[in-house]
Chain A
Amino acid sequence: MIELIGGWLAAVIIVWIYSFVYKDNLLYRLAEHLFVGTAAGYSIALSLDSLNRTAFGQMAKGMEYWHLIIPIILGLTFFFKYSKKYYWIARYGVGVNVAVGAALALRTAPMANIIRQINAAILPLWVADDPLKTFNNWLMVLITLGGLTYFIFTFFPKTEGKAGPVGIVYKALVTIGIYGMMVGFGYLFANTIMTRVGFLIGIILQYLQPRFEATLVAIILAIIAIAFAVMKKK
C-alpha cells in the first residue's frame, strides 16, 4: 500500500516538474518547493549522520580521538556569521576548512595534473613500421602544444603586421590548438545528448512506466494548470 502511494507521488512530481518546459505553472511551483524543502532537510539529516559516525563515534572509541573537539568548535563558529558584531568568528571555521582542502589539492597537483600529463605528451614522433601510430603521435603532440599555447595569456610574440618566424609558429600552434579543442568539444556535445536523453529514458522506465495511470492523471492536471497560467497571462 505504501509503495502504491509512493509510486503515485513520484510519477505526479516528475510530470509536474516537466510541465515547466511547456509553461511555468502552479503545479510546477508546488513540486519545486516540495523538492527544495525535502532536499534541504535531507542534507541536514545526512550531515548529522556523517557527524555521528565520524566525530562522535570516533570520540567514543578513546582519548586519542578527543582532538576532534576542535573541529566541532570550529564548525560551530559558522553560526556567528548571522551576528552583526561577531561575524568574523566564522572566519576561523571557514579558514581551516578552506586551507585543508586547498593544501591537499595543491601539494599533489604538480605530479597528478602536470608532470604525469607532460610525460603522457612525450611520444615517439617516428614509429618505424606503424605509420598510423606516427600520425597519431604527431597529432597528439601538436594539439597538446597548441592548446597549451592558446591558454598562455600574458606571454605572446607580436602577431599583427609583419610577424616574424616566431609569430608565424605561434599563430599556427594557436590555430591547431583551437581546432583540436573543437574536436574535443564536438565529442563532449555528442555525449551531452547521450547523457541527457539517458536521464529522461531512466525516469520513464523507472518511475513513469510502472505507474502509467498516475502519469496520465498528472498530465491532465498539468494541462489544466498550464491552461490556467496561459489564461491568467492574457
Chain B
Amino acid sequence: MAKEEKRRPFGMAQVIYTLLIISIVIPLLNPVGLPIGISQTTKDVYNYIENTLPAGSPVLIDLYYEMAARAELEPQAAAVVKHLFEKNCKLVFVSTITYGPIVFELLKSTAPDLFEGKQYGTDYVFLGYIAGNEPAVASLAQSIRGTIAVDNYGTPIANLTMMANIDKAEDFKLVFIVSSGTDTFGWYVRQWYTTHNVPLLFGALSVIGPSIKPYVDAKQAIGMLTGQRSAAEYETLVGRKGLGLASMDAQSFAHALILVFIIIGNILFLATRSKPKPKEVKKK
C-alpha cells in the first residue's frame, strides 16, 4: 500500500474559507449598491397580490423555516406581509414545524414597522405550532376550530374577532407557504389545492425553487418567490429596503469569488488531464 501520506497542505482549504469570509464582510461594511433587475416571475406574484387578490381577504401564512433560513425567507415574508397589510388582508399565521414560534417572534422583532397600526386578533393572529406534518395541514384545511382550541398565546379561537368567519380552507383567498423544506409545498398542493382549490403562493429557498417549479408551471400555485434574489426584487417593488437588498452586494462578490475558483480549478484540471500523469506511472 502506498505509504507516503498524501496530506493536502493544511492551509489550502482554510485559505479559501478566509477569502470567502472577506469577500462577504467587505461589501457588508460598505455597500456598493450594484443594480439588480426585477425578474418576470417576481412581477407575476406582485401583480397577483396587487390586482387579483381582493382587499381585506383572509390569507393563511405557514412559517416553516429554520433559523438558518431566515436570511433568505424572512425578507420574503416581510416584503409580502407588508404588501398584504397594505391591502388590509386578514393574516392567519401558523407553523407546522417546531421553529415556527421562534421565527415568528424574530420576524416581528426585526420588522416591527410591518405590524404598526395592526391589532392582534383583528388584523392578524398566530395559531402557533401544530405537530403532525401532512395530517396537520389536512386537518387545518377541514376546520381550524376543529383542530386547535387556542392560539399560540392561549386565547380561545372564538375570542379572536377576525376568526369569526374564518375556519376552513374555502374561507381563505390565498395561502402563502414560506418553507425551507421541499415536502411542505407538496402537502399544501395535495391537501389545500387539489382537495379544496385554494390558490397557493410559494416562498422557497433558492436551492429548493427548481425542484418545485413543476407545481407552479402546472398552475397548482399562482407563483413563487425564490430565495434572497426574489426577496430583494420584491423589496424594491414594495419599497422596503430589507435584508434581501442589503445582501445583494455581498452575494455578488461571493459569487464572483466562487466563479473564479471554478474556472481556475477547471483550467488546471484540463491542463493536467491533457498530459499523462508522470506520478501514476512511477508508482507501479
Contact = CB atoms under 8 A, between A and B. Distances in A.
Contacts of B129: 46, 49-50
Contact of A101 (B21, B133, B150, B207): B133
B207 A112 contact: no
Given A53-B150, A184-B210, A205-B28, A104 B219 contact: no
B149 A57 contact: yes
A58 B148 contact: yes
Contacts of A109: 190
Nearest to A42: B98
B24 A204 contact: yes
A22 B20 CA distance: 13
Interface of chain A, main secondary structure: helix
Given A54-B130, A191-B210, A198 B190 contact: no
Given A58-B148, A191-B227, A198 B214 contact: no
Interface size class of B (residues with CB under 8 A): 35 or more
Interface in B27-70: 28, 68-70
Interface residues of A, number: 48
A203 interface: yes
A100 interface: yes
Contacts of A209: 28
Contact of B193 (A112, A196, A205): A112
A104 B28 CA distance: 46
Interface string B216-229: 01111000001111
B141 to A, nearest CB: 10
A216 to B, nearest CB: 13
A198 B17 contact: no
A43 interface: yes
A195 B179 CA distance: 13
Contacts of B25: 204
B87 to A, nearest CB: 28
A76 interface: no
Contacts of A33: none
Contacts of B28: 201, 204-205, 209
A75 to B, nearest CB: 10
Contact of A193 (B148, B219, B255): B255
A83 interface: no
B243 A202 contact: yes
A200 interface: yes
A195 B135 contact: no
A22 B220 CA distance: 45
Contact of B247 (A51, A111, A201): A201
A155 interface: no
Contacts of B110: 206
B125 interface: no
B71 interface: yes
A194 B149 contact: no
A116 B148 CA distance: 32
A117 interface: yes
Given A50-B129, A61-B149, A198-B227, A188 B211 contact: yes
A184 B209 CA distance: 11
Interface in B149-175: 149-150, 152
Contacts of A119: 218
B148 A197 contact: no
A104 B134 contact: yes
A192 interface: yes
B186 interface: yes
Q: Which 7 A-B pairs have the closest CB atoms?
A: A202-B71, A57-B149, A191-B206, A120-B218, A108-B190, A194-B206, A46-B98
5 contacts: A53-B130, A191-B207, A194-B72, A194-B229, A201-B247
Given A58-B146, A199-B68, 12 more contacts: A50-B130, A53-B152, A54-B148, A112-B189, A112-B193, A188-B207, A192-B207, A195-B72, A200-B20, A201-B24, A204-B24, A205-B71
